[in-house]
A = this chain, B = another copy of it.
Amino acid sequence: MAESTLRAAQIAQTLGRELRGPDRDITGPGTLEDAGPESISFLANPKYVSQLSETSAGTIIVHADQADKAPHGAALIVSPNPYLDFARVLVMFMKPQGEFKGISPDARIAPDAVLGKDCTVYPFVFIGPRAKIGDRTVLFPGVYVGEDCELGEDIIVYPNAVFMAGTRIGANTIIHAGVVLGADGFGFVPGAGGIEKIPQVGIVSIGKSVEIGANSTIDRAALGETRVGDGTKIDNLVQLGHNVRMGKDCLIVSQVGISGSTHVGDRVTMAGQVGISGHLHIGSGATIGPKSGVARDIPENETVGGAPAVERGTYMRTLALMPKFPDMYKRLGQLEKELAKLKEELAAKP
């Protein structure tokens, strides 16, 4: 629900927070640095408290501890979690992408595809035979929905995303531009006449309230399903191989690659550019540090780093010592010389 002007008191009430100072008109959100008298801003990190005293923002969401640092005359919304409350304010002002409504005559939709109520289908969308599209789902230009796909309700699919045959997507999921779901898994077997392709006859199944970032790719299963659980958020340029199964509420940062048949639990966090080998189990609650290469199972709730990844404490200790390595090498050579000299001296003693 995008609004053009709201009052500070309205917002405070919706958030269930106390308003201190004057009520004010608010036309949109901004950072403490950029915001003006009709903007709402926030302070989450006490490290930036100096910005608070200098801001021109008319309305500020702030923790009670910092409220006294705010400029006189500002409307303050006092919150135990200013970042979360600011996110909710953003929703109030947010305008969804795209203004087209209805089913474009320039889309090509198979006669036996089934569209729910109030769907939006932009020009240049292709929907294949027997596909089902849930109520209020939006397909931007250039989207390809293969035969037998099943998309739930309130899904947003941004331009040029591709769903190969049989892909299933749960309600409220967001698919960003250029995503490819259901391309063939990378399955080959050496045959007499060279490398033979193993047909990939499974599908991709995405849960509810998932988000998949631009140009990410998730391959169909060789047999059965490649799965992403409800609430999981995947960033841009991520690759999930065939038969990966990922649980709920995971956060997978950009350029991560997960090889085939690896199972990932719930609430797992993977930082950018992580690589995971195939056929592994990553326990629920695990955290994988940036650029890690994981070549073994990871227990529940363990934090790992490095390539190959080891438990975080070991990794950090090793890292801290790395710059000392050249010095250690010298010291080792020095020790050997001194020991040899000592031996000689000892031999010379009576």
Contact = CB atoms under 8 A, between A and B. Distances in A.
Chain B CB within 10 Å — which of A123, A126, A158, A350 has the most? A126
A247 interface: no
Nearest to A231: B194
Contacts of A191: 84
Contacts of A324: 329
A227 B78 CA distance: 32
Given A98-B165, A162-B159, A332-B331, A214 B183 contact: yes
Nearest to A89: B199
Contacts of A93: 201
Chain B CB within 10 Å — which of A97, A219, A233, A249 has the most? A97
B331 A336 contact: yes
B275 A198 contact: no
Copies of this chain present in the complex amount to: 3
A29 B295 CA distance: 30
Contact of A325 (B237, B257, B275, B318): B318
A342 B239 CA distance: 58
A170 interface: no
Contacts of A159: 126, 144, 162
Contacts of A199: 87, 90-91, 94
Contacts of A34: 223-224
Interface in A175-218: 176-178, 180, 183-184, 186, 188-189, 191, 194-199, 201, 209, 211, 213-215, 217
A177 B180 contact: yes
Interface in A87-121: 87, 90-91, 93-94, 97-100, 104, 106, 108
A126 B98 CA distance: 11
A147 interface: yes
Contacts of A160: 142, 144, 160, 162, 178
Interface of A: 29-31, 34, 83-84, 87, 90-91, 93-94, 97-100, 104, 106, 108, 122-124, 126, 128-129, 140-142, 144, 146-147, 158-160, 162, 164-165, 174, 176-178, 180, 183-184, 186, 188-189, 191, 194-199, 201, 209, 211, 213-215, 217, 219, 223-224, 231, 233, 235-237, 239, 241, 249, 251, 253-255, 257, 259, 272-273, 275, 277, 290-291, 293, 295, 306-308, 310, 314, 317-319, 321-326, 328-329, 331-332, 335-336, 338-339, 342-343, 345-346, 349-350
28 contacts: A30-B223, A31-B224, A34-B224, A87-B189, A87-B199, A90-B198, A90-B199, A94-B199, A100-B128, A108-B123, A108-B124, A123-B126, A162-B178, A183-B213, A214-B217, A214-B219, A215-B237, A237-B237, A237-B257, A239-B255, A254-B259, A255-B255, A255-B257, A273-B273, A318-B325, A332-B335, A335-B335, A346-B349
